[in-house]
Amino acid sequence: MSAYETIHVEQRERVTLITLDRPKALNALNAQVLAELLDALAAFDADEGQGCAVITGSEKAFAAGADIKEMSAMGFAEMYGSNHFSGWEQFARTRKPVIAAVAGYALGGGCELAMMCDFILAADTAQFGQPEIKLAVSPGMGGSQRLAHAVGKAKAMEMVLTGRMMGAEEAERAGLVSRIVPAADLVEEAVKTAATIAGMAPLAVLANKEMVNAAFEMPLAQGVQFERRLFNGLFGSDDQTEGMAAFVEKRPGQWKGK
């Protein structure tokens, strides 16, 4: 796939900036957005020249959810039989880091998409919510689980049961977002942060991401073992030798990705 209609993809040196672009539907996530996003992310993950991605939306909406108009005609058999949202799981399997830069609404599937990214940078205008209950349904792509992990049971339960939105400051206090930046600086700040990550040794980036994610899948002792194995494994890389030599010689490291 080369020409996208619902997203824009731009490479800024080693950073891939993906912008959701369905303004008339507040970036609602329909099947076309999913297909285009997965295609762009697969290309990013496979490209050795790219080190970190940023996903953003517009000033008004990161994404206002799954496309309600597309879903409204669907019944149980079609939804269950086609495993309708399963493609989004592929999104969460991206190996290189992906940052969500959220301004405006991140609701339903939009909040879930942001939480599938490795971390969220929020504009001061960001609003997060899982309002699916108002449509007589529920989060369908991990929202109930990832929100509970991020903000704890009390806030997750209140948000999922009432559909209330959480503003940027509350989201930062609750641990849903890593930082708040002024809306006007959001994309530049996210790209700058992504460039910092993309400037690190590529194998170390993959390993660091994998081990933090393991904290959500494994008991502590097993997670610590997993970390140690990856840590030991990095000592088999040329970049580890280079990284430590560069420190001693007071110069920047030159990474090979090996």
Active-site residue list: 66, 109, 112, 132
Instruction: Show the tokens assigned to 225.
Output: 């073992």
Smallest gap from Cβ 93 to ligand CO8, in A, equals: 15
Residue number with CB closer to ligand CO8 (44 or 105)? 105
Site string for ligand CO8, 227-256 (x = CB under 6 A): ------------------------------
Q: Where are the alpha helices (DSSP H) in the chain?
A: 31-46, 68-72, 76-81, 87-92, 109-116, 143-151, 153-162, 168-174, 186-198, 202-214, 220-234, 238-248
Considering only residues 51 through 70, tell me which ones interact with ligand CO8, judged by CB under 6 A: 64-69
Among 7, 9, 18, 26, binds ligand CO8 (CB under 6 A): 26
Question: How many residues lie near ligand CO8 (CB under 6 A)?
Answer: 24
Give yes or no for residue 79 binding ligand CO8 (CB under 6 A).
no
Residue number with CB closer to ligand CO8 (47 or 89)? 89
Among 42, 45, 140, 170, binds ligand CO8 (CB under 6 A): 140
Q: What does the alpha-carbon distance between residue 234 and residue 196 come to, in Å, rounded to a whole number?
A: 20
What residues have CB less than 8 Å from 59, skipping those under 6 apart? 103, 104, 123, 125, 183
Q: What does the alpha-carbon distance between residue 187 and residue 195 come to, in Å, rounded to a whole number?
A: 12
Site string for ligand CO8, 115-134 (x = CB under 6 A): ----------------xx--
Smallest gap from Cβ 143 to ligand CO8, in A, equals: 7
Q: What does the alpha-carbon distance between residue 170 and residue 147 come to, in Å, rounded to a whole number?
A: 13
Give yes or no for residue 108 binding ligand CO8 (CB under 6 A).
yes
Q: What does the alpha-carbon distance between residue 197 and residue 99 come to, in Å, rounded to a whole number?
A: 10
Buried/exposed 194-227: b ≥16 CB within 10 Å, e otherwise? bbebbbbbbbbbbbbbebeebeeeeeeeebeebb
Residue number with CB closer to ligand CO8 (28 or 150)? 28
* Contact residues: ligand CO8, CB under 6 A: 25-26, 28-29, 64-69, 85, 88, 105, 107-109, 112-113, 131-132, 135, 139-141
